[in-house]
Amino acid sequence: MQKLDVAILGATGAVGQRFIQLLEGHPWFRVREVVGSQRSAGKAYADAAHWILNDSPPLSVARLTVKALDAALDSPLIFSALPKEAALARELDLARAGHIVCTNASANRMLADVPLLLPEVNAEHISLLEVQRRKRGWTSGALIANSNCTVMPVVMALKPLLKYGVRRLHLVSEQAVSGAGYPGVSSMDMIDNILPYVPGDEGKMETESRKMLGYFDGDGIIPLDMIVSATCTRVPVIDGHLVNISVELEEGPALPSIIDDWGAWQAAAPVPDLPSAPAFPLQYLDQIDRPQPRRDREAGGGMTTSIGRLRECPILGYKFAALSHNTVRGAAGCSIMNAELLAVQGFIEGFHVAQTAEAI
């Protein structure tokens, strides 16, 4: 099939590089435009990017010339890894001009008409795009966001438990340094240390989780009615965000039943057949000291959420740990999977993908 051309905003940064790495060899998409800062514009990508991932930039991208942020773009599909301030207006301008924009940036996530999409959890929220286009007068453009990277393991782990009724949630994160971008946190602050504060993330965990686990009523997203309290910390780990979760459920399922729910859970069609979807979106690890970032972050190519240490909580009822790869599942990988869902559902004008499963 003819691959769809895509552009990457913020292509020289840490998440932009992860987009490039994950899109190399993608069956549907190919990188044709890279966008960077003013100081990078006009340079070959290989010269402009300080590559921090393993190996080197793919040759197909290394030779591309970096475009300025305000440059005209030809690609129908755009992935955004922009900083919040740069993303705020530019993403909406590009969507207004007819592009499909899948963003990892936080700037527009909580707009009422922007889906905060994680396909296994809330693929039905894609219908909000019809509201977005109607209200904004867009015919072919759209803006779709994925959540803060630390929210990902939380909502993935909670989705199979919604049937029990989630009342209250207490979260304590241990977040990898790659979540701060590059060069990120100073080595003098991070080595032999833990920082008990990650700017902005606690509020995101408390609001984004409710939006993602809520429901679409035909006109907007009704957030899940639960109380959430979050504490976010930065730890000296390169990749992988671990969240310690305590949850109160309306019903009182037995611990083995919850573990069975996690192991058996799969999203509705066509999500499991998307190219980036892992065979097992969740895995439960029986070892008492798992999950661990170094050992478990690459599960499912970095797209599987690992859960462990389920036990009784004397305050809320249940507690466990959940881990996701923050720059794969929590960032670029989720945006790519969102775009795959859009393609299957026919939201990308002029681009059609053969469906192997019944649409949502």
Residues belonging to the active site: 149, 241
Q: CA torsion angle for 273, 122, 166, 199 (degrees, to 10)?
A: 110
First and final CA of the chain: distance in angstroms?
Answer: 23
Is the N-terminal amide bond of 278 cis, ω within 30° of 0? Answer: no
In total, the chain counts a number of residues equal to 360
Collapsed DSSP state (helix, strand, coil) of residue 108: coil
Question: Going by DSSP bridges, is the β-strand pair 227-234/142-145 parallel, antiparallel, or unpaired?
Answer: unpaired
Q: Bridge-partner residues for 142, per DSSP? A: 100
Within 8 A by CB and 6+ apart from 206, the residues are 228, 229, 230
Within 8 A by CB and 6+ apart from 252, the residues are 317
Which pairs from 88-97 meet CB under 8 Å and 24+ separation?
90/9, 91/9, 91/143, 92/143, 94/141, 95/138, 95/141, 95/142, 95/143, 96/136, 96/138, 96/141, 97/141
Question: 245: closest CA among 183, 322, 185?
Answer: 322
Q: From CA 315, how far away is CA 324, in angstroms rounded?
A: 25
- For the chain, where are the alpha helices, taking DSSP H only? 14-23, 45-48, 59-62, 84-96, 119-122, 128-136, 151-158, 187-190, 201-212, 255-264, 293-296, 333-344
Question: 126: closest CA among 345, 357, 348, 278?
Answer: 345
Identify whether the C-beta of residue 358 lies closer than 8 Å to the C-beta of residue 269.
yes
Phi, psi of 85 (to 5 degrees): -65, -40
Q: From CA 285, how far away is CA 110, in angstroms rounded?
A: 33
Q: CA torsion angle for 186, 191, 193, 199 (degrees, to 10)?
A: 30
